[in-house]
A = this chain, B = another copy of it.
Amino acid sequence: MKKRIFAIISKADEGDRASKVFDNCIMILIVLSVVSIILESYRNLAQNYAVAFRIFECISIAVFTVEYALRIWTADLLYPGAKHPRLRYMRSFMAVIDLLAILPFFIPFIPLDLRFLRMVRLLRLFRLLRVFKLGRYLDAFMLLMKVIRKSAPQLVVSIILCAFVMLFSAIVMYTVENPEQPEQFPNVISSLWWAICTLTTVGYGDVYPVTATGKLFASIISVIGIGIIAIPTGIIAAGFSSVIHERSGGDKESDGKEYCPYCGHKLE
Interface residues of A (CB under 8 A from B): 34, 37-38, 41-43, 115, 118-119, 122, 125, 128-129, 131-132, 136-137, 139-141, 143-144, 147, 153-162, 164, 167-168, 171-172, 174-175, 178, 186-189, 191-193, 196-198, 200-206, 208, 212, 215, 219, 222-223, 225-245, 248, 255-257, 260-263, 265-268
Interchain CB contact under 8 A, B236 and A38: no
Q: Which of the residues B129, B136, B268 comes within 8 Å of A164, measured between beta carbons?
A: B129
Cβ–Cβ contact B187 & A42, under 8 A: yes
Given known contacts A115-B175, A225-B200, is B140 in contact with A144 (CB within 8 Å)? no
Task: Indicate whether A168 sits within 8 Å of B236 (C-beta atoms), given known contacts A226-B229, A266-B261.
Answer: no
Hey, which chain B residues are within 8 Å of A215, CB to CB?
A: 193
Identify which of B119, B154, B155, B188 contacts A41 (C-beta below 8 A): B188
How many angstroms between the C-alpha atoms of A158 and B191 in the bound complex? 29
How many whole Å from A164's CB to the nearest CB in chain B?
6
Q: Find chain B residues with CB under 8 A from A219 CB.
A: 192-193, 196
User: Which one of B125, B156, B222 lies within 8 Å of A137 (CB-CB)?
Assistant: B156
A156, B140: Cβ atoms under 8 Å? yes
CB distance B206 to A206 under 8 Å?
A: no
Are A157 and B141 in touch, CB under 8 angstroms?
Answer: yes
Q: Which residue from B136, B153, B198, B239 sits with its C-beta under 8 Å from A140?
A: B153
Residues of B within 8 A of A156 (CB): 137, 140
Are A234's CB and B236's CB within 8 A?
yes
- CA A159 – CA B223 in complex, angstroms? 8
A44: shortest Cβ distance to chain B, in Å? 10
Interchain CB contact under 8 A, A200 and B226: yes
Most interface-central of A119, A125, A128, A154 (chain B CB within 10 A) = A154
List of B residues within 8 angstroms of A266 by Cβ: 261
Chain B residues, Cβ within 8 Å of A236: 227, 230-231, 233-234
Q: With a CB–CB cut-off of 8 A, which chain B residues contact A160? A: 131-132, 137
Indicate if the CB atoms of B172 and A197 lie closer than 8 Å. Answer: no
B residues near A262, Cβ cutoff 8 Å: 260, 263, 265
Contacts of A228 in B (CB 8 A): 226
CB closest residue in chain B, given A225:
B200
Known pairs A42-B186, A140-B157, A201-B201 / 18 extra A-B pairs, C-beta < 8 Å: A122-B168, A125-B168, A140-B153, A155-B227, A196-B223, A201-B202, A202-B225, A203-B203, A230-B233, A233-B233, A233-B237, A237-B240, A239-B240, A242-B244, A255-B268, A256-B268, A263-B263, A267-B268
